[in-house]
Amino acid sequence: MKKVGIIGWRGMVGSVLISRMIEEGDFNRIEASFFSTSQSGQSGPLINEIQYTLKDALSAESLSEMDIIISAQGGDYTKEIRPKLESLNWKGYWIDAASAKRMDDDSVIILDPVNKAHIDQSIDRGVKNYIGGNCTVSLMLMGVGSLFQHDLIEWMSSMTYQAASGGGAKHMKELLSQMSVIGDEYEKIQDSNILDIDDKMSSLLRGNDLDAKNFGVPLALNIIPWIDSSLDNGQTREEWKAMSEANKILNLEQQIPIDGTCVRIGALRSHSQALTIKLKRNIPLDEIESILKSNSEWVEFVDNNPESTREKLNPRYVSGTLKTTVGRVRKMNLGDEYLNLFTCGDQLLWGAAEPLRRMMNILL
């Protein structure tokens, strides 16, 4: 059996990864080792009645005994450890959730329902680094990848609605603690007139009583149209990833322009995005619908009516599932070649953990 080392298993992405690997019986196919940067020597997870003891994730020698390493530990860790493995002449496969190596020439961004052929060719060519894509990019392609595959897209604009969990566990807790303070305040004043309630809530948002050290400002009752660091062209790094990563995943020579605004909203888990697509030609809506439905077994097409949209086109419906819902599909007033649609998916599953465990299985 292949030796597989797992780092970052107790973080947000890593926890979801382990629970999916248990669900799918992946641990029956591998000889697993668990590593930690901070808890080496302590007890790790108990899986299939095996109590794992944690190895040192900072020991390149110990890691180099693995055939495959899966890291959900973060980019700083990747930058520190990957070159050390290189210098030990390690020949194993590196599978990673962090962005650090995504755009490197010696890496492939993995999303096998969309780019399995490219992954297979890369394995044959000897590529050793397989990196999960940015969550919104992966979810966008899980939703509308078939429109790219049918070469229908001239350009795309993506406006995102990204959940707190995109920042990890502490961001989720911060949002919930803000909501709890807001709830307590509301309980005291709920019988007041609405303008007084509004005034009180607005003061709460502008004051210092809500814990906002991770997001910078309160996210509850608010939005933040800025995710990740800034680039010289005015984009955020999150916005830059849309075009660069999507084109790399699709392995396109002729780049398709993609741009938009990434917005953090007060959803707990699962990202949504509104897409404006300039089609290469005027295609009837029913044809577009059947192309979208043929995308993969995980796409659920949502009819463009209020009931289905409210029920299915949101984080409430997709969270904790592998479904990607696609709806609000209609032509726009801008012209017959302009398509509007909206898509939702769990960014911890297809947006992070799922491509990693599937890549391990492809290699096995």
Which residues form the catalytic set? 135, 271
Contacts with ligand NAP, 52-81, as mask; x by CB under 6 A: -----x--------------xxxx------
- Minimum CB–partner distance for residue 169 and ligand NAP (Å): 5
- Minimum CB–partner distance for residue 218 and ligand NAP (Å): 20
Q: Residues 42, 70: contact at Cβ < 8 Å?
A: no
Interface with ligand NAP, residue 39, by CB under 6 A? yes
Interface with ligand NAP, residue 12, by CB under 6 A? yes
Contacts with ligand NAP, 286-315, as mask; x by CB under 6 A: ------------------------------
Contacts with ligand NAP, 93-132, as mask; x by CB under 6 A: ----xx----------------------------------
| Near ligand NAP by CB under 6 A: residue from 30, 250, 352, 359 | 352
- Minimum CB–partner distance for residue 345 and ligand NAP (Å): 11
Count each helix (H run) and each strand (E run) in the chain, helices first.
Answer: 12, 16
Tokens (6 digits) for 1: 């059996």
Distance (Å, whole) CA 51 – CA 118: 37
Interface with ligand NAP, residue 135, by CB under 6 A? yes
- Minimum CB–partner distance for residue 10 and ligand NAP (Å): 4
Interface with ligand NAP, residue 267, by CB under 6 A? no
Return the number of the residue (36 or 129) whose C-beta is nearest ligand NAP.
36
Q: Residues 261, 225: contact at Cβ < 8 Å?
A: yes
Which residue is nearest to ligand NAP, using beta carbons?
A: 11
Distance (Å, whole) CA 179 – CA 186: 10
> Which of these ranges, 37-45, 142-150, 219-227, 232-240, lies near ligand NAP under the rule CB under 6 A?
37-45
Interface with ligand NAP, residue 343, by CB under 6 A? no
Q: Residues 275, 148: contact at Cβ < 8 Å?
A: no
Closest CA to 275 of 347, 336, 238, 328: 328
Closest CA to 167 of 321, 19, 13: 13
Return the number of the residue (72 or 212) whose C-beta is nearest ligand NAP.
72
What's the first-to-final CA gap in the chain, in angstroms? 9
> Which of these ranges, 58-66, 112-120, 294-302, 345-353, lies near ligand NAP under the rule CB under 6 A?
345-353
Interface with ligand NAP, residue 13, by CB under 6 A? yes
Contacts with ligand NAP, 155-194, as mask; x by CB under 6 A: ----------xx-xx-------------------------
Distance (Å, whole) CA 254 – CA 252: 6
Closest CA to 9 of 61, 52, 66: 52
- Minimum CB–partner distance for residue 54 and ligand NAP (Å): 8
Return the number of the residue (45 or 168) whose C-beta is nearest ligand NAP.
168
Q: Which amino acid is at 156?
A: M
- Minimum CB–partner distance for residue 16 and ligand NAP (Å): 8
| Near ligand NAP by CB under 6 A: residue from 4, 5, 6, 14 | 14
Helix axis angle, 237-250 relative to 112-125, nearest 10°? 70
For every residue of 303-356, DSSP letters joined together read -SSHHHHHHHSSHHHHTTSS-EEEEEEEEETTEEEEEEEEEEE-TTIIIIIHHH
- Three-state DSSP state, 190: coil
Restricted to residues 222-241, the positions that interact with ligand NAP (CB under 6 A) are: none
DSSP state of 224: B
Return the number of the residue (10 or 278) whose C-beta is nearest ligand NAP.
10
Closest CA to 346 of 133, 97, 138, 172: 138
HSE-up of residue 143 (Cα within 13 Å, Cβ side): 30
Binding site for ligand NAP (CB under 6 A): 8, 10-14, 36-39, 57, 72-75, 97-98, 135, 165-166, 168-169, 347-348, 351-352
